[in-house]
Amino acid sequence: MHFTSEQRLDDGVLEREFTLGEIPGTLWTPESAAPAPLILMAHNNGLRRREPRLVARARRTAACGYAVATIDAAGCGDRPRSAGDERARADLRRAMRAGEPVDEIFESFIGPLVEKAVPEWRTALDALLSLPGIGGPVGYSGWTALGIRLAVAEPRIAAAGLFAGGYVPRAQREEARQVTVPLLLLLQWDDEGNPRQRALDLFDAFGTKEKTLHANLGGHTGTPWFELDDTNGFFGRHLR
């Protein structure tokens, strides 16, 4: 892991950009002496890690005493996209404009995106846990499909906070019942692109005995700020 830049924020949080082979990432660490629990934070459907909403969430979470890390995995964020991915995204835009069904298009590129992202997140996890000042257990926050896959594949993930606002491939909807770590699922009640019933069905399907759903009014990006406090409370119960 190679740090390429760093800045100290007003609340003492240290924000560092890094590369790990081809993988670019950002790490936020709190100003504390004790090892901080780590939270992996990813945007729904692989949006770029520098999105202001993700950065704001990461900074606030780090200020509460967590190490927070994100990466642009293969095909995500600013990473190069395959010709197939570009075609799928063009198909998606065309279908959305025409008001046509988009599930099969989402399936064709979100499914492989999750599969390719998982090994890179695990590589990043290995590297992050070897840094001084970062301890386990590990939490996951954000992109639901990746979170399901990681929670099933990666025994170091101890708790997951998921946003029910992105397309969840069939494979992850099916393996949801294999997830056994504590879960907090955030649902935006009026999310235009994501049928409410599908999120409720997903919540129902998770295999874990300790799962909580928080639903708030409003569209996809309208999650109220106080959910960040509740999410920190959730991680506080399971990572501390």
**Which residues of this chain interact with its own copies, rule CB under 8 A?**
189, 200, 203-204, 209-217, 224, 226, 229-230, 233, 237
**Measured from the CB atom, is 49 or 214 closer to its own copies?**
214
Q: Specify the amino acid at residue 160.
A: A
Kindly state the smallest distance separating residue 217's Cβ from its own copies, in Å: 6
State which residue, 50 or 196, has the beta carbon closest to its own copies: 196
Minimum CB distance to its own copies smaller for 11 or for 201: 201
CB closer to its own copies out of 3 and 189: 189
Supply the minimum distance, in Å, between the C-beta of residue 227 and its own copies: 8
In whole angstroms, give the CA distance from residue 146 to residue 141.
Answer: 10
Residue 203 C-beta: closest distance to its own copies, Å: 7
Shortest Cβ 68–its own copies spacing (Å): 21
Phi, psi at 195, each rounded to 5°:
-55, 130
